[in-house]
Amino acid sequence: MTVSVRGLTKRYGPTLALDDVDLDVAAGEVHALLGHNGAGKSTVIKCLGGGTAPSAGSITIGGTTHDALDPRSSIAAGIAVIYQHLSLIDRLDVTENLHLGQETTTAGVFLRRADQRARAVRLLERVGLDVSPGTPVRQLTIGQRQLVEIAKALSRDARLLVLDEPSAALSPVESRRLADLVRLLKADGIAVLYVTHLLNEVVELADRTTVMRDGRVVWSQPMAGVSKTDLVTAVSGRAHGAAVAPRPVDPDTPPALAIEHLRAPGLHDVSLVVRPGEIVGLYGLVGSGRSRLLETLFGRRPATSGTVAVDGRPVRVRRPDDALRAGLALVPGDRLRQGLFGSLSSGENTVLRVMSLTARAGWRRPRAEQEVFRSTAAAFGLRPADPAVPVSRLSGGNQQKVLIARWVNDRAGTRVLLLDDPTQGVDVGARAEIYDVLRQVAADQGLAVLFASNDPDEVVALAHRCLVMRQGRVVDDLDMRDTDEEQLLDLIHSELEPS
Amino acid sequence: MTTAPPPTVDGADRRPPSTGHAAAAPSPVAAAAGWLVQNPLLVLLVVMVAGVQLATGAQLGWGNLRGVFLDAAVIAIVAAPVAMLVIAGYIDLSVGSTLALGGVVAGKVAQSGGSPLVAVGAALLAGAAVGVVNAVLATVFGLSSFIVTLGMLTAVRGVAQLVSPLPLSNFGEAFGFLGIGNIAGIPLPALLAVAVLLTAGVFLTRTPAGRHLYAIGVNREAAYLSGVDTRRIPFLLFVTSGAAAGLAGAITVARLNSAPAGQLGGGFELAVITAVLLGGVALTGGEGSMVDVLVGVLFMGLLRNGLTLLGVTTFWQNVASGLALVAAIAIAAATHVVRGKMRAREAHRLDDAAPTG
């Protein structure tokens, strides 16, 4: 059985997330899907899993052609998607999770618990997971939960297994175990679509690789005779030649942000400086501590020891409010959950904080608020530049501009801008605009910018300097004038090599 | 950058400033239709009053309206702070028993010869004390306000009965003025209600703290990460809501000229919540205004009054009131869908009009 995707196209309003994508996964084949954030990988997955309907194109599975799938018909067609955010029910045990929605019953009412348990044992054995079927899922590690998800897919007779960056949250040992399992499933004749941005995994596992960029398939070949360098070239498309270099920074300027010996749960003795006008990237994998460092600086997590100074003044941050008063502001990684007030207007979202600063004697001053919105909307190219539109209606890129404008305007007094994954879920065109905005606020207003990313392209395009993080430590400090994307990719891969 | 006419954050000018040429403002008809879609209950209210008036010719007489306002005032005084709590994502169910406690305390003071002002002050304090307990449990300890205030609903009823095991009555004319007195022909409780609604409305729209309530209700995590104090204002609102219920108790007792601790304010909390939700304040938080509350309170009062005028019996009135709530929420959900579509079309229009690249 082969899964064929033909001419898959997906529009979100004016943005084109997928543009005429073709993809074939044969039974007993591991097909790797590569590409940076926003390349369109996750939209392909969503179309396969029935999370969204494509605007055009078709998906053919075992001879049946579908124009669109919903979650139910996707499962019925034999597709199982293992998302990064696993969809198990924490409170239920492994057996119950495995049988959720397809319980075996007597007379349609009574659970046949012994049968279910026996079946669970067989499934767990097949995926090589050594836990009791009665274990509550919340007691399992991420890696174990992933195996339970795969077992669940097998129990539904999945013919196509889609794995969405499966190793992102795994330890090296767990990753190797997963790779073994993928090979086993392949031998059983299951088609595997393996979505990742780690080249080593691709070289190790894939029979065939497709590379996506900007919503299009740019490269698709069998892996025989393909080297890692070929993949790097295909993924990056040598696009960073087009990036505008950030304005140089005088290395003798006193730092705007100085961190010394910062320790916190998951952070070990981090010291770094960022100068006014300088853009520094924190590069590392999920769990390396890059987001944790930003959240600790911003007071969302407590620090155990160490000092933080803004413009030479030591600051003590216990809550986000303290950080903001000291001139440290964070644009969080999860825009919808941690940043935006979805049903409120973009105007209110922008002035939410400065509202208190522009107010006189406790009364709002609408004119001052309007001025803040107007000037930032113009400076950052916000579209639509209408303060009354609910912010949930804006595109990802424009939502991000609103969040940056919340902290960077003439009233906020921000000195250091922290950003966690600044272009997550932002399409390519808007990404370049966000980079421009960040370069502009760094150069014109002398802001220190510190951003976390796992996208080497982004670090190359945006940063003056790159700090590589691993296991809660800063392990490298690279001047981006003499570092390119390939070196960064190599760094992150050498770290994953089994040792 | 480009010179553009200053847009208003309040949305009075919905023209996209940077485009000017392509996008025209929505026509007045569309704007009016949009406004009505956003206030479906107001339309229903007008239709209902017109219908009852045509059928009976009695609803819009001042004598009748005066009674309606007197009933609605007590609900409105409490509905205002409760609505603000709901906007911030909390709820206060304890107001019925707090009303009883406030009433009993005020009655005791008045009966023992205290001046009406002292009696009202004591009722406010008793209510505020209940509010402090709610506030500490719900905002400091972070317990579910639904459960906390549900528990307090029962507990405070008991306290009220302990304070006054036997029904009190005959508080004197001076105290009675609070319940039935007029100033310039308008009932004093109605004036108090107007003052409370106005103050709350100004607070909600004209102060940063008021706007922050919406932010807290929409996304508490994001509000915290934006440096908003997510506890202080809800804390004060719980205290205010308690005090308001105490005041409502004093007014009720003054009007009845008796204070039966067991019966005072029975089911009052449901009337308040019903009015708040009817008006269009979303139970999920982040949505609603004092206009909504006023419309909700008036709708409830005028519906009951209309049914009475039409000769509907009490039992049927209850059936009708309950169904009215369900119907209003169904209508609100339907208009929400329509509103979402209108917004999407609007955003699309602005997007197409905006220069690209």
Please, which pLDDT band fits residue B21 given cuts at 50, 70 and 90? very low
Query: Bigger pLDDT: A229 or B208?
Result: B208
CATH class of A242-496: alpha beta
Please, which pLDDT band fits residue A298 given cuts at 50, 70 and 90? very high
Touching check for A327 and chain B: CB below 8 Å?
no
pLDDT at B58 over 70: yes
pLDDT at A239 over 60: no
pLDDT at B135 over 80: yes
Please, which pLDDT band fits residue B77 given cuts at 50, 70 and 90? very high
- Checking ipTM against 0.90, whether it exceeds it is no
Please, which pLDDT band fits residue A246 given cuts at 50, 70 and 90? low
- Do residues A437 and A445 lie in contact, with contact meaning Cβ atoms separated by under 8 Å? no
Q: Give the pLDDT confidence score for residue B349 in this predicted structure.
A: 64
Please, which pLDDT band fits residue A324 given cuts at 50, 70 and 90? very high
Touching check for A332 and chain B: CB below 8 Å?
yes
Task: Tell me the nearest-neighbour CA distance from B209 into chain A, angstroms.
Answer: 8
Q: Which residues of B touch A341 (CB under 8 A)?
A: 214-215, 218-219, 222-223, 286
pLDDT at B17 over 50: no
Residues 179-208 of chain B with CB under 8 A from chain A are 206-208
Report the alpha-carbon distance of residue B71 to residue B252 in Å, rounded.
Answer: 9
Q: Give the pLDDT confidence score for residue B24 in this predicted structure.
A: 45
Determine how β-strand A110-111 pairs with β-strand A160-164: unpaired
Q: Which of B225, B228, B233, B356 to mutate to test the interface with A (most CBs of A within 10 A)?
A: B225
Residue A168: strand pairing partners: none
Q: Which residues of A touch B209 (CB under 8 A)?
A: 362
Using the Cα atoms of residue A302, residue A308, residue A310 and residue A313 in order, give the sign of their dihedral. Answer: positive
Which span out of A492-496, B10-14, B87-91 was modeled with the highest average pLDDT?
A: B87-91
Query: Bigger pLDDT: B350 or B292?
Result: B292
Is A2-238 assigned to CATH 3.40.50.300?
yes
pLDDT at A188 over 50: yes
Please, which pLDDT band fits residue B351 given cuts at 50, 70 and 90? low
Task: Tell me the nearest-neighbour CA distance from A316 into chain B, angstroms.
Answer: 15
Q: Give the pLDDT confidence score for residue A454 in this predicted structure.
A: 79
Touching check for B11 and chain A: CB below 8 Å?
yes
The structural domains of chain B, with segments of one domain joined by +, span 69-327
Interchain proximity A320–B225, CB inside 8 Å: yes
pLDDT at A12 over 80: no
Q: Which residues of A touch B14 (CB under 8 A)?
A: 386, 388
- Do residues A198 and A167 lie in contact, with contact meaning Cβ atoms separated by under 8 Å? yes
A291 closest CA partner among A282, A279, A302: A282
Per-residue pLDDT tens for A134-186?
999 888 888 888 899 899 888 888 899 999 888 777 777 788 888 999 999 99
Give the tokens for residue A473.
């430590």
Per-residue pLDDT tens for A97-142?
888 877 777 777 777 888 889 999 999 998 888 889 999 988 888 8
Interchain proximity B11–A347, CB inside 8 Å: yes
Q: Give the residue range(s) of CATH 3.40.50.300 domains in chain A.
A: 2-238, 242-496
Touching check for A15 and chain B: CB below 8 Å?
no
Per-residue pLDDT tens for A338-382?
999 988 999 999 999 888 888 888 888 989 999 999 999 999 988
Q: Give the pLDDT confidence score for residue B25 in this predicted structure.
A: 52
Report the alpha-carbon distance of residue A470 to residue A453 in Å, rounded.
Answer: 13
Q: From B212, which residue of chain A is nearest by alpha-carbon distance?
A: A352
Interchain proximity B286–A344, CB inside 8 Å: yes
Give the tokens for residue B150.
């549900």
Which span out of A421-430, B40-49, B328-337 was modeled with the highest average pLDDT?
A: B40-49
User: What's the 3-state SS for chain A?
Assistant: CEEEEEEEEEEECCEEEEEEEEEEEECCCEEEEECCCCCCHHHHHHHHHCCCCCCEEEEEECCEEECCCCHHHHHHCCEEEECCCCCCCCCCEHHHHHHCCCCCEECCCEECHHHHHHHHHHHHHHHCCCCCCCCEHHHCCHHHHHHHHHHHHHHCCCCEEEEECCCCCCCHHHHHHHHHHHHHHHHCCCEEEEEECCHHHHHHHCCEEEEEECCEEEEEEECCCCCHHHHHHHHHCCHHHHCCCCCCCCCCCCCCEEEEEEEECCEEEEEEEECCCCEEEEECCCCCCHHHHHHHHCCCCCCCEEEEEECCEEECCCCHHHHHHHCEEEECCCHHHHHCCCCCEHHHHHHCCHHHHHCECCECCHHHHHHHHHHHHHHHCCCCCCCCCEHHHCCHHHHHHHHHHHHCCCCCCCCEEEEECCCCCCCHHHHHHHHHHHHHHHHHHCCEEEEEECCHHHHHHHCCEEEEEECCEEEEEEEHHHCCHHHHHHHHHHHHCCC
Residues 294-323 of chain B with CB under 8 A from chain A are none
Total beta-carbon pairs less than 8 A apart between chain A and chain B: 149
Interchain proximity A14–B351, CB inside 8 Å: yes
CATH fold label, B69-327: ABC transporter involved in vitamin B12 uptake, BtuC (1.10.3470)
- Residue B2 carries which DSSP code? -
pLDDT at A262 over 80: yes
Task: Tell me the nearest-neighbour CA distance from B307 into chain A, angstroms.
Answer: 37
Q: From B287, which residue of chain A is nearest by alpha-carbon distance?
A: A343
Residues 262-301 of chain A with CB under 8 A from chain B are 298, 300
Interchain proximity A389–B351, CB inside 8 Å: no
Per-residue pLDDT tens for A22-49?
999 999 999 999 877 667 888 899 899 8
Select from A332, A338, A387 the Cβ nearest to the Cβ of B11.
Answer: A387
Task: Tell me the nearest-neighbour CA distance from B197 into chain A, angstroms.
Answer: 18
A129 closest CA partner among A78, A70, A187, A177: A177
> Kindly report the CA angle at A9 between A8 and A12, in degrees rounded to 5?
145
Touching check for A380 and chain B: CB below 8 Å?
no
